[in-house]
Structure 1
Amino acid sequence: MPATRIETRRGWIGDRRLEVIEAVQRGLLAGLQIPDHDRCVRLIEYEDDTMISPPNRGEKYLVIEITLFAGRSLDAKRRLYASIAKELAAFDVPTDDIKVILIEVEPVNWGLRGVPANEIDLGYKINV
């Protein structure tokens, strides 16, 4: 049940916001092997004067922060990074402009339906 936040500068996405969100969701599906109905992706666009980035990055620089249950393998993380980069290539986002940050949380520290997530059958594996 990853919770994903995409942050970037306003302007380059235009009216394709939902398309970018769906592209990142597809990257999550391929990389983490979560079910399609597992969706929590938000997009935040910043004005130019409210975000700085490394000088050698372009206008499409973005940070994707994914909070997820701990336990994914290095191979799953590699698939995730590659899948997101592949999906964002359709928007001409250079791989150098993509930063993905994973924040791993033990399921006991994630509340769902009023209980800790480790007490719920999620219907899919975390340790992929």
Structure 2
Amino acid sequence: MPATRMETRRGWIGNRRLEVIEAVQRALLTGLQIPDHDRCISLVEYEADAMITPPSKGPSYSVIEIKLFSGRSLDAKRKLYAALAEELSAFGVPASDIKIVLVEIDPVNWGLGGLPASEIDLGFKIDV
């Protein structure tokens, strides 16, 4: 049940927003082994003067923040990082222009349908 937010500068994505979001979804499937129907991704594009980035980064510099249940292994996280870099390379984004921040949340601190996620059968494993 990750909640993912990708922030970048406007211009390089053009009319490929949905394609980029689907690429991020594929990376989540690969790295976290979530079911395909588990989707919660937003894409935010900023005007050039509303986002400063390191001077060595290109126009496609992106920050991807993923809020997820705690419990994933380092191997799963490595797969996720590599999958995001691979998927976004198809859009000309170099791996060095991708910053990924994972925010791990205990399932008791995540509510779904009026219940804590810790009390719900999610239908997938988080300890991958």
TM-score by length of 1: 0.99
Aligned-pair identity in percent equals: 73
In the alignment, residue 69 of structure 1 is paired with which amino acid? F
The runs of 4+ residues in structure 1 deviating greater than 2 Å are: none
Structure 1 position 14, deviation (Å): 0.2
* Residue 19 (structure 2) aligns with: 19
Superposed, 1:117-128 pairs within 5 Å as 117-128=117-128
* Residue 10 (structure 1) aligns with: 10
Unaligned runs of 5+ residues in structure 2 are none
In the alignment, residue 126 of structure 2 is paired with which amino acid? I
Aligned with 1:20: secondary structure? Answer: helix
* Residue 72 (structure 1) aligns with: 72
Aligned with 1:43: secondary structure? Answer: strand
Structure 1 position 106, deviation (Å): 0.1
Cα distance in 1 for residues equivalent to 2:58 and 2:65 = 19
* Residue 87 (structure 1) aligns with: 87
Cα distance in 1 for residues equivalent to 2:55 and 2:11 = 18
Cα distance in 1 for residues equivalent to 2:45 and 2:86 = 21
* Residue 44 (structure 1) aligns with: 44
Structure 1 position 15, deviation (Å): 0.1
Aligned with 1:5: secondary structure? Answer: strand
* Residue 110 (structure 2) aligns with: 110
Structure 1 position 94, deviation (Å): 0.3
Aligned with 1:121: secondary structure? Answer: coil
In the alignment, residue 93 of structure 1 is paired with which amino acid? V
Cα distance in 2 for residues equivalent to 1:11 and 1:57 = 15
1:60-92 C-alpha deviation (Å, 9 max, x unpaired): 000000000000000000000000100001001
Structure 1 position 55, deviation (Å): 0.5
- How many residues align? The count is 128
Aligned with 1:52: secondary structure? Answer: coil
1:47-66 C-alpha deviation (Å, 9 max, x unpaired): 00100000100000000000
Structure 1 position 28, deviation (Å): 0.2
Aligned with 2:122: secondary structure? Answer: coil
Cα distance in 2 for residues equivalent to 1:51 and 1:100 = 16
